[in-house]
Structure 1
Amino acid sequence: MQTLNRRPAFSFSFLKQPNRLLAILAMFLLPCSFAWAQNSQVVLPEGVTAGPVVEGTRQYTLENGLTVLLSPDASKASVTVNMTYLVGSRHENYGQTGMAHLLEHMLFRGTPSLPNALAEFSKRGLRANGSTSSDRTNYYATFASDPELLEWYLRWQADVMVNATISRADLDTEMTVVRNEMEAGENSPFESLMQKVQSAAYQWHNYGNDTIGARSDVENVDIEQLRAFYRLYYQPDNAVLIVSGRFDLQKTLDLVTNAFSEIPRPKRSLPPEYTIEPVQEGEQEVIVRRQGGTPLVLAQYHIPAAASPEFVAFDLGAMILADTPSGRLYKALVQKGLAAHSFGFARPMRQPGYALFGAQLENGMNPDEALITLTETLEDLETQPFTDEELERARTQWMTSWEQTHADPASLASALSESAALGDWRLFYWTREQAEKANLKAVQEVTSAYLVPSNRTTGLYIPTESTQRAPKPKATDPAALLKDFEGREVRDPTAAFEASPQNIDAQTVRETLSLDNGTIELALLPKPTRGDRVEARLLLQAGSAEDLKNLRTVSSTAAALLTRGTTQYTRQEIADRFDQLQAQVGFGGGGNQVGINISVPGKNLPDVIELVGHILREATYPAEELDRYKTQARASIESAMTQPGSVASRTLARHDNPWPPSDIRYVPTFKEALEEINSLSRNALVDFHQRFYGAATLRFSAVGSFNPQNTKNALLQAFKNWKSAPEYKRIEQPFRKVEPEQFTLHTPDKANAVFMAFQPLEVQDDAPDYTALYVANYILGGSSSSRLWSRIRVEEGISYDVGSSIDASAFEPSGEWSLSAILAPENAQRFKQAMNEELERAIQDGFTQEELNEAVRALMNLRRLNRSNDGVLASVWLDYMQEGRSFAWSAKIDKELEALTLEQVNAAARKYFQPQALSSALAGDFPNQANAETKQGE
């Protein structure tokens, strides 16, 4: 489960209906009488009142107080349901910290009629989870549009609202899982430092508490107090049910009424909240010392609540300060070599919350100097005021993010959930208008008012000569603020698209465009989308393994730095142009491939293609940008050297690595990776670009609302007369036997351990038994209803996350079976025993017909869900173009899944799963192993 008290964090990266229940729930199916509503001819069930309607999102309220938000969108063949309870860590009393988060876990343990809810979700192909923040707890699921699935999940939500088991036995089992999650956060220097800064910044308010809670409170929680907390807050008058995506509005409103109306309105009153955090009266500091990682500096400031008219203005100011690469912190810290990375955000909260700014340093950098520069940059707005250019850049980025959220049903449901927790769901729409009308004077005044020394909590002590008090945030009443707010006129509903393999193939344009020195293979699928957006992918391929000798780090760096400057544009100008086009564009790659992901309004796709083509052809690799990249890369590698997951994965990757150091497939040690970063030069990047970037093999896919002919014209224009590049030859990854070996790796001062294992498989994805093998793995460890999950996570509570996966090439008989888990070091032996017992049971006894039926049903639903996602379709088309396939392949797999027999699945498991052939790595703080084992990743 996600714990959302202090996210987003930051990171660097250089380089996944039971009949019994229906019979019980059928007792709730009672007839309703109706009255005509005033909204679009929707018939209101008896007792239901209609509320505000804003841009297609409609509010209804049941007699028991349940708020229902319905936001139909026929353009996506999926549905997202989000049940939000207006309770979070803010509502916990003394000795109860972590109770809201713990209760979130317990609800997935189920009800008398449906125990082990996560397993039931997995069986049906629902992508479901929950999360807890300071202000709310929510439970959500996304699945392929299906009235029966929608009804099943809504009835589960109604059941668990009043019938959650919350047993002592389940609590004891789940306790280890929650502790495991707690320790995962403790592994992170950033998480640990941020929690302590946050705690120091609040004198009385519960916002100073970490959502996951104090270890002593969580480990000693009283079961009756937990049940009382549930009965107090998990009631319809304290909940908001959100449904978005493709569904029938009338039928869904009827269904919600039928499922929830029998739950009575509670007679209790929720306890009032008295605590108001006083204005901070002086700088405060926190210093955390621990082994591993790289230096960090943070500065936190109190700010207004999200429903305050001041919040959006401050949010824009924070973006001006923290953006990369245009932000003032980036320019003052990263560009001047004082830090490897800078960041910042204003967190929207129901009551006055906080903004956090900070920087990650490379070892050897001066934290004192970095912190002084950080705070001086933030608190010098009177002498260095914001500019119109900075505000417009931030506003454009803010609006692009808003539009992307609004266009996606799952993201919209999440945003409405957060807004409801902040006081009123309409805040989501209202904040857009605040961002549009925010002027420079307002942004300047509110940002400078709160970014003052006396309102600051940092990680170092910095003396000041004078104090300046931040203004006391005024109380806000969201209902009064929004009483006349109506939003904007909604356009006609978007037409539906049938996301079946046959229709996807029928509607996709497949052709090849000829260039002077190469070709562009196309897969274009125009279809209606809300917001008229399109997801596109471009793949450039050139060269062979032989061509790329000794160019491993140069190739990946050349791709990573493409947008850092061209012959015509600076890094900032490139970022600004993408913002103007409302485009999210990502460049990445390595070896003989470069990939570009594009998300943009369809009308702007030709302009984005033009700019992408220019970047690919005219990148210049400025020396100062290379220096910054090298600093960031070193900091990332140095941090990874102490993380259990990184150490374990690199150890296994090197164990399964027959290639010489010059080969592109070779996996370097951490030390070698640092040496390769240090040796990078601009000349090497320029030479690589000149040699390998050209019109060799290009592939392009697009799915969404766009004009195919304009797109083809833009591609031809962008890549005409481009020089040739070496012929593309796929880099082979042939099967090879690996002698099994078990590694125990010591990573000091890490509360969590990581287990990883793999077995090479001589199998290709078109093998007659591969689909059976895939299903066998799904039953064993591929889902939250799997045997490994049920035994190790649910029954014994040893691991927060455990599972297995299967991968196979489409080009050669070469694949891999892998397993992974996170656990407390002291549970290592229990974990190994439980895992080995389950592997042996699966191979010797096989699976059951019920397990097979549930797995096939879940996988079919997940496949339908994936085909309803435009981004997934665009990516899959790139894969299919390389493999010579179409969605007829997807339809073939569907048929194979539905035709599988239990004998085929059990035979595949016994043939391929060989636990004795597994190589494994267990990395964690094992003091007895400190001198006996080495870190193989080094």
Structure 2
Amino acid sequence: MRFSFPKLPGRLNALLITSFLAFQAGATTLPSGASEVASVEGITEYRLSNGLRVLLAPDASKPTTTVNMTYLVGSRQENYGQTGMAHLLEHMLFKGTPTIRNALGEFSRRGLQANGSTSTDRTNYFASFASDPDTLKWYLGWQADAMINSLIAKEDLDSEMTVVRNEMESGENNPFRVLMQKMQAAAYQWHSYGKSTIGARTDVENVDVGQLRAFYHQYYQPDNAVLIVSGKFDPQATLNAISDTLGKLPKPQRTLPPEYTVEPVQDGERAVTLRRAGGTPLVAAMYHIPAAGSPDYIPFDLAATILSDTPSGRLYHALVPTKLAAGVFGFTMDQHDPGVGMFGAQLQPGMDQDKALKTLTTTLESLREKPFTQAELDRARSKWLTSWQQLYADPEQIGVALSEAIAGGDWRLLFLMRDQVRQAKLEDVQRIATQYLIPSNRTEGRYIPTEKPQRAPLLQRPDLTETLKDYKGDPNFKQTDAFDPSPANIDALTQRSSLDLPNGAVQLALLPKDTRGGRVQAELLIHFGDAESLRGQRINAAAVADLLERGTSTLSRQEIQDRFDAMQAEVSFSGADTDLTVAMSAAGDQLPALIGLVLDVVRNASFPQAEVEEYQRQTLTSIRSAMTEPTSLASRALARQNNPWPADDVRYVPTFDESLAQTEQIQRDALVAFHKRFYGAGAIKFSAVGDFQADAVKQALTTGLNGWQKAPAYTRLSKPYRDIKAENFDIETPDKANAFYISRMPLKIQDTNPDYPALYLANFLLGTSETSRLWNRVRETEGLSYNVRSNLSVSSYEPTASWTVYAIYAPENRDRLETAITEELARAVKDGFTSEEIKDGIAALLNYRKLSRAQDSVLASAWISYLDRGRTFEWSAQIDEKIAALTPDAVNAALRKYLQPSAFSTAVAGDFAKHKKTP
């Protein structure tokens, strides 16, 4: 469970939206009492007689179904003394009804990926699963049961309270989140948007269970909810199932209370200063902006992109190259009522915060003197639509997308906003940004008296009825064919071959298939060098990969990014040691051109001096921030424990101080020399999954690699098993509300070992699923952690592996958490798992694996991995068969053979000194 947080800077600052094809109108017989309300681009809305709204978005391109129940209640509806109730109820509904006492456990047993989230305007509960009408009907039955029969029991509330506090404390570790919360509180005088969704700690801890039940009965009703079903399902059968479950709930008799609070126009600059330990300096400015349904929202959102994008944005150019900041960000909040836009910058210690903040606000508020250009708008529009297309290809995101649009006022906003982006005019973007980006509408770090303050226009909630009366959406959509994600079908459809070139072969795995929006996921892997040739090159190997797209001999960083945007492509470069990986997503007809551009960038990177210096500043800032974070400190302690390599070996794990020193010593000449020596052809693998032409891809690779030098001979870096003596690490992180626990033991096993499938399932039952031993004990029974898991990592190349257990928790609960984990490990070894646990675990694990194979990006990455290991998806099928055949004796024998609680090394990081008891 989680509370929703606003869109983050950069590429994530886009609507999580997608579109689906529905069945033809009139193809179904409506159940008694149901009526069709509206249909846009294949998504059809129905209304039941009890007031429940239903959105159906069938799509057979992936064999998965996603169900999302959105309640139109969030922190906006909470009164003083009730803050956090909506989020607390999100947790409580999973605690159970008289017939189902542990909903998350039931979901896990049935192979559903389920969760919930709360925002200012809505609460939703969602689940994805391998398409199955029985599972769908069962889940609809649970939704109906939870809507009217949730116990909201005092004992459940008490057990969940520590979990909710732990989630609250986890957010308190993030300086940006806390700063934003304080700024919102200052920006809003009366409206509930000024309150944090997770609520005031005192309100949550002292919540009256009777008031909580009353809140539940008032808002969790059919007429205040929208059910969304997307993916592969039968529309007629699903409508009937909805009618037989949720449709039988009575129509509410109560009337929802009116909302009449309107935030007045801000009449002067407001200031917030936050002082906490750790992190890096931030400066920010927040402005009131129109609601999501307002015709002015999208023009402002585009303006925000023009201002805050990296590297094209005005804030970036004003602050980063001038060394006033290490990085910038900006985003808008698309809310039901008028929301806010926030812009800011992250600084290195020692940078002038006053000067940075002054430059930030001056850049934002000088649009009259420096109007936007058409080129800036076109670039922002392209970025927005690229993100739209990227998510348009993923059917499983429809519930999230529609849920956010519903919260903003109407589900059809999802498409209307896209149309508004397409049609946005420069003069409108300029006019609207100028109206709201003014000093008196700003909340930041100071107050400045103003003799004649300029006022922003009065903001009101928009009426969408007339706007959407005849809206039909984009007629140009096409239905995709169903795809069978079985290993045998994946192998049969994938074209595996070797592209034999003069400078070395390229191993290929190409899987053409229909996808939503004609998208394709691709991955390129380049190997080079060995442990000896790369000695002393660890920092250069990482920096070269990170800096590839910062410029070539013929293209600037901005030009590269603009070409990616023009292709509606998402590209990420990552690399270290002997590897470079490039992940790509684009429209299928653009993939050949994208391959050519990517190979040009990889071959001809120029490492401009200014970009190298910016990279150093950003990396140093990131390292310094990690040096105060419990998760980073504890994880690094264990990583360094298993660190036998000398300091000049690329496998060596440095200290944070060593990382700082090495980053400060990065030199452009060394990067150029590394690139020239190691980057080349000879050991390359490429995979693609989606809507593309295989011959065109092969030609693009042939052309792009023509004449490239051969890289130094590649040899995989071995990381053999080491018998590590168990050790404990205690790390103090002052003033951090949340602590981190991580424990790990080495194992001598390879994934070809006959014990591997049994050990794989044993880990799933121990701490991976929501019915696992650790989850039930630590989270459900004792309420000590928001997230506790175990992870088994096993090599395919050599007999080496590790078993890891981790959890977040409040520092004062350290002893209880460590005792609970220790006891559960010992109980697993002593008693083993029951036959029922193993039977349910096998079914759930196989469903999760099937769901994973339905994701195109997963398939593309898996093919690269299989090419590297000389495998096909027959390997996946064999693992499935071995899991299905497991017996309790086999699983428990493997568990007892390998799990040795005394062999775990443990690192804990938190503010423990603050909570030590005085003798």
Q: Same fold (TM over 0.5)?
A: yes
Structure 2 CA distance, aligned partners of 1:8 and 1:208? 18
For residues 503-522 of structure 1, the aligned pairs below 5 Å read: 503-522=489-508
SS in 2 for 1:396: helix
Match of 1:338 in 2: 324
**Which of the residues 641, 651, 658 maps onto 2:637?**
651
Whether 2:777 is the aligned partner of 1:785: answer: no
Ranges of 4+ aligned residues in structure 1 off by more than 3 Å: 9-12, 460-466
SS in 1 for 2:610: helix
Quote the offset at 1:407 in angstroms: 2.1
Match of 1:881 in 2: 867
Structure 2 CA distance, aligned partners of 1:454 and 1:132? 31
Quote the offset at 1:696 in angstroms: 2.1
Look up the equivalent residue of 2:909 and give its one-letter code.
Answer: A
For residues 211-290 of structure 1, the aligned pairs below 5 Å read: 211-290=197-276
Larger deviation, residues 147-156 vs 129-138: 147-156
Match of 1:8 in 2: 8
Aligned residues: 906
Quote the offset at 1:493 in angstroms: 2.0
For residues 816-831 of structure 1, the aligned pairs below 5 Å read: 816-831=802-817
CA pair 42-750 structure 1, distance change in 2 beyond 3 A: same
For residues 621-770 of structure 1, the aligned pairs below 5 Å read: 621-770=607-756
RMSD: 1.4
CA offsets 1:63-83 (integer angstroms, 9 cap, x no match) = 111111111111112111111
CA offsets 1:848-868 (integer angstroms, 9 cap, x no match) = 011001111111110110111
Quote the offset at 1:256 in angstroms: 1.3
SS in 1 for 2:787: strand
Whether 2:336 is the aligned partner of 1:363: answer: no
CA pair 492-385 structure 1, distance change in 2 beyond 3 A: closer
Q: Structure 1: 5+ residue runs without aligned partners?
A: 13-36, 931-938
Match of 2:17 in 1: none
Look up the equivalent residue of 1:313 and give its one-letter code.
Answer: P
Match of 1:583 in 2: 569
Whether 2:574 is the aligned partner of 1:552: answer: no
Match of 2:25 in 1: 39
For residues 441-480 of structure 1, the aligned pairs below 5 Å read: 441-462=427-448, 466-480=452-466
Whether 2:77 is the aligned partner of 1:79: answer: no
Quote the offset at 1:803 in angstroms: 1.2
Match of 2:99 in 1: 113
SS in 1 for 2:242: helix
Kept in 1, the 8 Å contact 2:10–2:309? The answer is no
Larger deviation, residues 921-930 vs 512-521: 921-930
Match of 1:30 in 2: none
Quote the offset at 1:583 in angstroms: 0.4
CA pair 238-927 structure 1, distance change in 2 beyond 3 A: same
SS in 2 for 1:765: coil
SS in 2 for 1:264: coil
CA offsets 1:379-407 (integer angstroms, 9 cap, x no match) = 00000100000000000111111122222
Larger deviation, residues 2-11 vs 56-65: 2-11
Match of 1:488 in 2: 474
Match of 1:324 in 2: 310
Quote the offset at 1:656 in angstroms: 1.2
Match of 1:204 in 2: 190
Quote the offset at 1:783 in angstroms: 1.2
CA pair 11-427 structure 1, distance change in 2 beyond 3 A: closer
Larger deviation, residues 558-567 vs 114-123: 114-123
Quote the offset at 1:488 in angstroms: 2.0
> TM-score, normalising length from structure 2?
0.97
CA offsets 1:153-181 (integer angstroms, 9 cap, x no match) = 12111111111121100100100000001
Whether 2:156 is the aligned partner of 1:170: answer: yes
Quote the offset at 1:255 in angstroms: 1.2
SS in 1 for 2:82: coil
CA pair 894-445 structure 1, distance change in 2 beyond 3 A: same
Structure 1 CA distance, aligned partners of 2:359 and 2:26? 57
Larger deviation, residues 904-913 vs 453-462: 453-462
Match of 2:19 in 1: none
Quote the offset at 1:580 in angstroms: 0.5
**Which of the residues 139, 142, 154 maps onto 2:125?**
139
Match of 2:16 in 1: none
Look up the equivalent residue of 1:576 and give its one-letter code.
Answer: D
Whether 2:790 is the aligned partner of 1:804: answer: yes
SS in 1 for 2:245: helix
Larger deviation, residues 37-46 vs 482-491: 37-46
Look up the equivalent residue of 2:629 and give its one-letter code.
Answer: Q
Quote the offset at 1:192 in angstroms: 1.1
Quote the offset at 1:464 in angstroms: 5.2
Larger deviation, residues 245-254 vs 738-747: 245-254
Quote the offset at 1:480 in angstroms: 2.5
SS in 2 for 1:368: helix
Look up the equivalent residue of 1:307 and give its one-letter code.
Answer: G
Match of 1:291 in 2: 277
Kept in 2, the 8 Å contact 1:746–1:929? The answer is no
CA offsets 1:247-284 (integer angstroms, 9 cap, x no match) = 11211111111111110110001010010000000000
CA pair 745-123 structure 1, distance change in 2 beyond 3 A: same
Match of 1:854 in 2: 840
For residues 87-106 of structure 1, the aligned pairs below 5 Å read: 87-106=73-92
Match of 1:774 in 2: 760
SS in 2 for 1:625: helix
Quote the offset at 1:9 in angstroms: 6.7
Look up the equivalent residue of 1:172 and give its one-letter code.
Answer: D
Kept in 2, the 8 Å contact 1:453–1:464? The answer is no
CA pair 367-770 structure 1, distance change in 2 beyond 3 A: same
**Which of the residues 822, 830, 851 maps onto 1:844?**
830
Quote the offset at 1:188 in angstroms: 1.1
Whether 2:397 is the aligned partner of 1:406: answer: no
Structure 2 CA distance, aligned partners of 1:801 and 1:491? 40
Look up the equivalent residue of 1:838 and give its one-letter code.
Answer: E
Kept in 2, the 8 Å contact 1:348–1:422? The answer is yes
CA offsets 1:407-453 (integer angstroms, 9 cap, x no match) = 21122221111111111100000111111111000000001110000
Match of 1:50 in 2: 36
**Which of the residues 881, 893, 902 maps onto 1:895?**
881
Quote the offset at 1:150 in angstroms: 1.6
Look up the equivalent residue of 1:96 and give its one-letter code.
Answer: Q
Match of 1:161 in 2: 147
**Which of the residues 570, 574, 578 maps onto 2:556?**
570
Match of 2:20 in 1: none
Larger deviation, residues 701-710 vs 139-148: 139-148
CA offsets 1:735-781 (integer angstroms, 9 cap, x no match) = 00111001111000001110001000000011101110111111111
Quote the offset at 1:490 in angstroms: 4.9
CA pair 66-928 structure 1, distance change in 2 beyond 3 A: closer
Larger deviation, residues 114-123 vs 731-740: 114-123
Structure 1 CA distance, aligned partners of 2:801 and 2:452? 65
Quote the offset at 1:459 in angstroms: 2.9
CA pair 928-456 structure 1, distance change in 2 beyond 3 A: closer
SS in 2 for 1:498: coil
Match of 2:18 in 1: none
Look up the equivalent residue of 2:903 and give its one-letter code.
Answer: A
Look up the equivalent residue of 1:3 and give its one-letter code.
Answer: F
Match of 2:600 in 1: 614
Larger deviation, residues 128-137 vs 40-49: 40-49
Kept in 2, the 8 Å contact 1:516–1:722? The answer is no
Kept in 2, the 8 Å contact 1:86–1:421? The answer is yes
Kept in 1, the 8 Å contact 2:842–2:884? The answer is yes
Kept in 1, the 8 Å contact 2:524–2:687? The answer is yes
**Which of the residues 286, 298, 301 maps onto 1:312?**
298
Match of 2:138 in 1: 152
